[in-house]
């Protein structure tokens, strides 16, 4: 972990975070207590979580959540009303679809069931496209409190490979 106290002019290395299942890639959000929540993508098919009580200098031992996820990017966002919004692929590896949204109104104690933002079909036998993904989400909240979610839509095949950036504007009730 790297931390800057001078708007990025200098950086200090702090304790790293790893799981028992190998490399983990993070997304973070500040909790209402001031602690920092980190959700980690791994290769075991689940998101993991850890918390820092000292603004990222040390972290609790990561633990596996019950949220199914491939080794794909995910995104945490603290909404203006204090709830947490998580966008991630709710699927077992190696699939990266559907892209979903979950909401926590109690700082990660409980999450809503996943709500599908977009879904692409899984490849079938003989399909010219052998990989379809809706992944790498990012989210931001606008002044009118709607949320814009942006993701990559990717298709992979022997004859054809393409990708595009897609978005959706949603109201989180």
Measured CA to CA, the distance from residue 98 to residue 133 in angstroms comes to 8
Measured CA to CA, the distance from residue 145 to residue 149 in angstroms comes to 13
- Domain spans in the chain, listed from the N-terminal domain onward: 2-15+22-170
Omega of the bond leading into 94 within 30 degrees of 0 (cis): yes
CATH number of 2-15+22-170: 2.120.10.10
Measured CA to CA, the distance from residue 10 to residue 3 in angstroms comes to 8
pLDDT tens for each residue of 10-50: 998 887 787 777 767 899 999 999 999 999 988 899 999 99
pLDDT tens for each residue of 70-103: 888 999 999 999 999 999 999 988 889 999 999 9
Do 47 and 65 meet the contact criterion of CB atoms below 8 Å apart?
Answer: yes
What is the pTM for the complete model shown?
0.90
């Amino acid at each position: 972990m790297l931390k800057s106290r001078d708007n990025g002019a200098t950086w200090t290395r702090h304790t790293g975070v790893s799981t028992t299942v190998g490399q983990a890639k993070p997304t973070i959000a500040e909790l209402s207590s001031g602690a920092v929540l980190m959700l980690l993508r791994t290769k075991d098919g689940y998101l993991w979580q850890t918390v820092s009580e000292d603004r990222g200098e040390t972290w609790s031992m990561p633990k596996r959540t019950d949220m199914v996820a491939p080794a794909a990017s995910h995104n945490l966002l603290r909404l203006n009303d204090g709830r947490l919004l998580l966008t991630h692929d709710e699927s077992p590896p190696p699939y990266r679809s559907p892209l979903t949204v979950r909401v926590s109104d109690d700082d990660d104690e409980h999450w809503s069931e996943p709500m599908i933002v977009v879904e692409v079909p899984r490849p079938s036998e003989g399909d010219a496209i052998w990989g379809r993904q809706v992944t790498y989400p990012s989210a931001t909240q606008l002044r009118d409190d709607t949320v814009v979610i942006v993701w990559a839509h990717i298709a992979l095949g022997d004859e054809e490979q393409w990708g595009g950036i897609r978005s959706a504007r949603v109201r989180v009730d």
